[in-house]
Amino acid sequence: MGSIAKLGEPEQSRFRPQARHYVLNAAFRRAAENSGIVCCDVDTTPKGENYIVVNSAGVKISRIGLNYDEKCIRGAKHRSLLAELNENLEGYTPDLFSERDKSEGGVGTLGMLVLNINPPHGHSQDNMLDLRIVVPFTNMKGYHFNRSVSELLELYHTEQAVVIPDKVIPQLKKRLKEQEG
């Protein structure tokens, strides 16, 4: 809560990102469990903490946070393990929505990350700047897919105007020409 400039104790500036990480992981887990989706803790041996992976319909999703000024995902073993699932995507752009079988060269399991973009230290920490859905490259230097959740939700909530072509005038001209001829 508040900005880091208002915190009088430097240890709190280290604690806030850790607290944010664990609170958002707990919210991510609750959302998955309340939706009836399989959620599990996966550990990275030989080191590292357990991290949350949601597994649904051939997609594995985990959650991480990035600072507002970071362009690429920092390397970590669990992030790399998820990104390795996308190795089949590299080198060409398949149709992710087609009904292909794995034996036909399908994608298999897709590794995705939910990124919360954290605000700068001097700004209010009450809300994240953005929440993004990304499918990272295996080297974590870019993305196959990178969109804001708000952009994706707009696709579902925008009213699509149904355009009905007006064919009355052309048909009327044809009938008049037929009657005259």
pLDDT digit string, tens, across residues 2-31: 555 555 666 666 777 788 888 888 999 999
| Whole-number Å distance between alpha carbons of 85 and 50 | 19
Q: What is the pLDDT of residue 56?
A: 86
Q: What is the pLDDT of residue 133?
A: 93
For 119-136, what is the mean pLDDT? 86
CA distances from 144 to 24, 93, 132 (A): 24, 9, 13
Q: Does residue 101 surpass a pLDDT of 50?
A: no
For 125-136, what is the mean pLDDT? 88
Query: What tokens were used for 74?
Result: 């920092």
pLDDT tier, 149 (very low <50, low <70, confident <90, very high otherwise): very high
| Count of domains observed in the chain | 1
For 110-131, what is the mean pLDDT? 86
Give the model confidence (pLDDT) of 69-98 as tens digits.
Answer: 888 787 777 777 778 887 877 766 556 566
For 26-52, what is the mean pLDDT? 83
| Whole-number Å distance between alpha carbons of 124 and 135 | 29
Q: Does residue 1 surpass a pLDDT of 60?
A: no
| Nearest to 131, CA basis, from 114, 145, 143, 146 | 114
Q: What is the pLDDT of residue 102?
A: 45
Q: Does residue 104 surpass a pLDDT of 70?
A: no
For 32-57, what is the mean pLDDT? 82
Beta carbons of 163 and 153 less than 8 angstroms apart: no
Q: What is the pLDDT of residue 105?
A: 52
CA distances from 101 to 15, 91, 104, 106 (A): 46, 19, 5, 6
| Nearest to 2, CA basis, from 131, 127, 130 | 127
Beta carbons of 139 and 84 less than 8 angstroms apart: no
Query: Which range of residues forms the domain containing residue 136?
Result: 4-180
HSE-up of 72 (CA within 13 Å, CB side)?
11
Residue, of 95 and 59, whose pLDDT is higher: 59
Average pLDDT, the chain: 78
Beta carbons of 145 and 134 less than 8 angstroms apart: yes
Return all residues near 96 (Cβ < 8 A) that are at least 6 apart: 107, 110
pTM metric for this prediction: 0.67
Residues 48-63: b if buried by 16+ CB within 10 A, e if exposed:
eeebbbbeeeebbbbb
